[in-house]
Structure 1
Amino acid sequence: MSRASTISQAATAEWLARTHADPPTAHQEWQDQRLTVLPLGVRFDAVRIPVETLYAAILNIRPAAVSRLLEQLLGGPVVQDADRWFYPLVPVGPAARWHSRAAEYLGQGAWLGVPQADQLAPPGAYWVVPVREPGRLCDLARVDELVAVGTARLSGRS
């Protein structure tokens, strides 16, 4: 691993850990179990998208292709958990603008299992699209469009 990569992962881990009420606890949980649970509504929110909806939207299920496409389409980090859900991380606050029934907006009061910064593959939760720059998040309008396309394809409307 290069020094730049190490610095980037360290900066990412610190940025994520500062979401936790006790950042050292987050670091310890990542060390012990490669996952910590972070509160939403502090630095970021998330949208929980069923894998079927997302795969229908991008017409692909190959992990490398999914990662590349999501990075291009959404512009920010995405967690996958238990092969059932994708969680694009989005800016805090716009929950009132979320109207999709096919995916759930998770904001203040919700929690998300967040993998260690270098957890880029299963088992367990992992970064489909890792944090490339602390604070850079997915565009909520693009997430909404992705969900709408996937929902339309699943219902046969596209």
Structure 2
Amino acid sequence: MRTPDHVLIAWLAQSADDADRATTHLIEGGKAMLQLGHIFSAVRMPGQLVHGALGAELEHDVREELAERLDGAVALDPRGTGESRYYALIPPLAALTWDMADVAPALGRDTYLSTPAPYRLTPPGPHWAAPLRRENDFCRPAAVRSLLEDGLQALRRRQAAC
């Protein structure tokens, strides 16, 4: 069962410098700049690797499998021009031991992320590719690593075929 949006908004807003302002931005604007490393951190995953790992070209084609593989919340910044970026939410301290920074950096303390409101599930703008279902809806770092490794293998196969 999914936690109500107002509870999730309050949880997200805890990581903002100004929780009241962040709450207003999430409710009215659909997104807010939140500081990472306190209640959650995030791994910034290139769209090319996510799509390669899941065998899909389009963002809307990865939603279900991404949610199944990572079993946690994943935000998507579609980046109108350029490559999309996926942000897998991970426990706050997991960023300190993340070892794939050269491929997909873990973003923790002193980093801000434009985070979508829980109800933002479709474009335009930042939205949830794998919905935020509850507080602490973290992806397991090992699952994120496995997805990225699969994406790297798919990229290597594609490059070798050229």
TM-score using structure 1 length = 0.89
Identify which range, 143-152 or 93-102, moves more after superposition.
93-102
Give unmatched runs, 5+ long, in structure 2: none
Once the two structures are superposed, what CA deviation does each residue of 1:97-124 show, in whole Å capped at 9, x if it has no partner? 3222221111111111101111110000
Q: What are the within-5 Å matches in structure 2 for residues 62-101 of structure 1?
A: 62-83=58-79, 84-100=84-100, 101=102
Residue 132 of structure 2 aligns with an amino acid whose one-letter code is V
The change in CA–CA distance for 1:19 and 1:115 in structure 2 (over 3 A counts) is same
Distance in 2 of aligned mates of 1:69 and 1:32: 30
Q: What are the within-5 Å matches in structure 2 for residues 38-57 of structure 1?
A: 38-57=34-53
Identify which range, 98-107 or 118-127, moves more after superposition.
98-107
Once the two structures are superposed, what CA deviation does each residue of 1:120-151 show, in whole Å capped at 9, x if it has no partner? 10000001111111112110110011111101
Q: CA deviation at 1:31?
A: 3.6
Q: Are residue 134 (structure 1) and residue 135 (structure 2) matched?
A: yes
Once the two structures are superposed, what CA deviation does each residue of 1:17-75 show, in whole Å capped at 9, x if it has no partner? 11113211012222443210000001100000110110000112454541111111111
TM-score using structure 2 length = 0.86
Distance in 2 of aligned mates of 1:14 and 1:96: 25
Residue 124 of structure 2 aligns with an amino acid whose one-letter code is P
Root mean square deviation of aligned Cα: 2.0
Instruction: State the aligned residue count.
Output: 154
Give unmatched runs, 5+ long, in structure 1: none
Distance in 1 of aligned mates of 2:35 and 2:59: 27
